[in-house]
């Protein structure tokens, strides 16, 4: 009971420590606003993302107290995923390579004249996901240790394999095509240095020369693949049509408020995808890419009817919620064990070092000050648990501010889809090549954008699904490295009998069986409908 009182007290203090009701609260709130503004801009610019923003902002935190420093950093990181959805919907260019799933249905909605609805759904589901992730962080603090320690390399491998089996859900009308394309993604994941022996694989030295092949040693850049596959075909299509992005330029744009209503109409889907994103964020090493694509696959599996990839709002709601809820989940192992849940969290650990903090039990203690040098902090020295709960409130407040600001301009942003293509194409091309170049500042990545752009155009022309490539690329390396670790640690087959592995294996079999059964039902319904049409025509 005493601990519950400390818990509630720390939760309340954590909120007041970031609100402008005191001197230190005003400093933290100001830092939060500056961080949100930076994150808003970085999220819209393709190829940068939260990790890049944090790396650039880290040196400015030396003179800040811990609460202000983390308000500054987390405020920026928390909103990049939200604002990245704006360019994904409007132009088919992701703000981050790991957050591309919103493009699959969000951009077709914009082309169908529903840009406002897609943006409203993306932003509101992002806000719900962010709040869910923050609450997940708050509730998980007392029970975090067994949750994290229950995950080992065999479970990592099975989770990656589970994500790969979702290829069946992302395959459209042909599972064979989806599996083939997913295989291409897995092959691309093998390009670069072997994670076990450090030997270059598939780096094309005989074709392009040793010096030029060095950029492939780090593997295929996910941003280049994403931007090429999804943006270049849309630019070609826009140039051929000679109209705006929206194919219904004479009609009224889909309403923003309709997208907000969709979030609450499909609240069960948003809740499930938020939970999925938070749990995947909890697992170190997976991150936002698997969270978004697994949530998108779940939306496809659980929503009746087809039409995904052509403008279903559920395809926006699922990944939008998961991409933001993962932030709260990824903070859990970072705070409790010093094990970063994502690249952004790894950079955030640098802020812990700068501030003289040590992740671990002290961050969960309601009675231990975060630093002994209270005098140097102007007398303000919160406990570890207070600072941890400040993180919870930073995630919530920063996303509320971002969504409110974004909603003020959504009407104007949605009208971009009706601007003539000849005026938009140069700007979109700039975003595309900026996104490809910005990750590693390598001109070779721009060439990769063009190569995968041509591949994406061919796939669209011949009706091959594109999402399975990204899923295979994101999860292939995770599956390979963890399979090796599992076999070395537990024996060639010893790891298979672990309870977590068995459970995930059953889930995997169930998801595949469900996908096959769903496709059989669709084919039966289509055959019955065709038979009815023939009967009617014969009668006539």
Q: What is the number of other CB atoms lying within 10 angstroms of the CB of residue 50?
A: 31
Query: How many whole angstroms separate alpha carbon 279 and alpha carbon 287?
Result: 10
> How large a percentage of the chain has pLDDT more than 90?
0
Look at residue 190 and tell me whether its pLDDT is greater than 80: yes
pLDDT at residue 129 in the model: 87
pLDDT at residue 220 in the model: 82
pLDDT at residue 343 in the model: 63
DSSP 426-439: HHHHHHHHHHHHHT
Query: CA separation (Å) from 122 to 99, 101, 110, 322, 461?
Result: 12, 11, 12, 11, 28
> Which three-class secondary structure string do you get for 461-522?
HCCCCCHHHHHHHHHHHHHHHHHHHHHHHHCCCHHHHCHHHHHHHHHHHHHHHHHHHHHHHH
pTM of the entire predicted model: 0.68
The whole domain housing 495 covers 2-539
pLDDT at residue 450 in the model: 87
Query: How many whole angstroms separate alpha carbon 451 and alpha carbon 458?
Result: 11
Look at residue 250 and tell me whether its pLDDT is greater than 50: no
| Structural contact between residues 472 and 191, judged by C-beta atoms closer than 8 angstroms | no
Look at residue 224 and tell me whether its pLDDT is greater than 70: yes
**Range among 111-120, 204-213, 302-311 with highest mean pLDDT value:** 111-120
Q: What are the phi and psi torsion angles at 326 (to 5°)?
A: -65, -25
Query: How many whole angstroms separate alpha carbon 393 and alpha carbon 374?
Result: 23
pLDDT at residue 252 in the model: 47
pLDDT digits (tens, 9 = 90+) for 56-88: 677 777 778 888 888 888 888 877 777 777 777
pLDDT at residue 370 in the model: 62
pLDDT at residue 518 in the model: 67
pLDDT at residue 49 in the model: 63
Look at residue 303 and tell me whether its pLDDT is greater than 70: yes
Q: What is the domain count for the chain?
A: 1
Look at residue 368 and tell me whether its pLDDT is greater than 80: no
Residue of 189, 224, 215, 218 lying closest to 46 (CA atoms): 224
pLDDT digits (tens, 9 = 90+) for 96-110: 655 677 888 888 888
pLDDT digits (tens, 9 = 90+) for 396-427: 888 888 888 888 877 666 666 566 666 767 77
């Amino acid at each position: 009971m005493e601990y519950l009182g400390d818990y509630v007290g720390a939760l309340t203090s954590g909120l007041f420590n970031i609100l402008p009701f005191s001197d230190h609260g005003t400093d933290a709130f100001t830092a939060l606003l500056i961080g949100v503004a930076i994150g808003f801009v970085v999220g819209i610019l393709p190829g940068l993302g939260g990790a890049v923003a944090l790396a650039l902002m880290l040196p400015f935190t030396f003179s800040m107290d811990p609460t202000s420093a983390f308000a500054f950093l987390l405020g920026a990181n928390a909103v990049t995923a939200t604002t990245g959805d704006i360019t994904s919907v409007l132009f088919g260019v992701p703000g981050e390579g790991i957050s591309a799933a919103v493009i699959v249905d969000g951009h077709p909605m914009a082309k169908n004249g529903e840009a406002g609805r897609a943006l409203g759904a993306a932003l509101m589901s992002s806000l719900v996901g962010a709040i869910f992730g923050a609450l997940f962080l708050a509730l998980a603090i007392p029970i975090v240790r067994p949750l994290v320690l229950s995950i080992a390399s065999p479970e990592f491998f099975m989770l990656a394999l589970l994500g790969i089996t979702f290829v069946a859900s992302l395959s459209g009308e042909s599972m064979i095509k989806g599996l083939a394309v997913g295989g291409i993604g897995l092959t691309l994941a093998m390009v670069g240095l072997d994670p076990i022996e450090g030997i270059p694989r598939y780096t094309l030295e005989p074709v392009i020369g040793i010096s030029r092949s060095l950029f492939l040693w780090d593997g295929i850049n996910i941003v280049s693949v994403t931007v090429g596959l999804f943006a270049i075909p849309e630019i070609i299509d826009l140039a051929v049509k000679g109209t705006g992005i929206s194919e219904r330029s004479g009609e009224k744009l889909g309403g923003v408020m309709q997208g907000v209503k969709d979030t609450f109409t499909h609240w069960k889907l948003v809740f499930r995808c938020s939970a999925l994103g938070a749990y995947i964020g909890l697992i170190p090493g997976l991150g936002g890419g698997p969270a978004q694509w697994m949530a998108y696959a779940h939306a496809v599996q659980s929503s009746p009817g087809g039409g995904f990839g052509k403008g279903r709002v559920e395809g926006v709601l699922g990944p939008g919620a998961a991409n933001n809820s993962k932030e709260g989940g990824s903070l859990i192992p970072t705070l409790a064990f010093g094990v970063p849940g994502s690249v952004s969290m790894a950079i955030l650990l640098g802020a812990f070092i700068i501030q003289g903090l040590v992740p671990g039990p002290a961050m969960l203690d309601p009675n231990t000050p975060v630093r002994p040098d209270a005098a140097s902090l102007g007398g303000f020295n919160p406990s570890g648990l207070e600072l941890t709960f400040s993180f919870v409130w930073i995630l919530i407040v920063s996303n509320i501010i971002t969504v409110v600001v974004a909603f003020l301009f959504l009407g104007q942003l949605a009208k971009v889809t009706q601007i003539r293509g000849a005026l938009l194409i140069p700007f979109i091309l700039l975003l595309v090549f900026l996104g490809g170049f910005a990750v590693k500042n390598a001109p070779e990545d721009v060439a990769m954008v063009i190569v995968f752009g041509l591949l994406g155009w061919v796939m669209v022309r011949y009706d091959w699904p594109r999402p399975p490539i990204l899923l295979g690329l994101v999860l292939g390396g995770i599956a390979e490295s963890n399979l090796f670790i599992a076999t070395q640690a537990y024996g060639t087959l010893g790891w298979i009998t672990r309870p977590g592995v068995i459970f995930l294996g059953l889930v995997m079999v169930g998801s595949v069986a469900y996908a096959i059964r769903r496709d059989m039902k669709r084919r039966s319904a289509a055959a019955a409908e065709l038979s009815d049409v023939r009967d009617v025509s014969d009668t006539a």
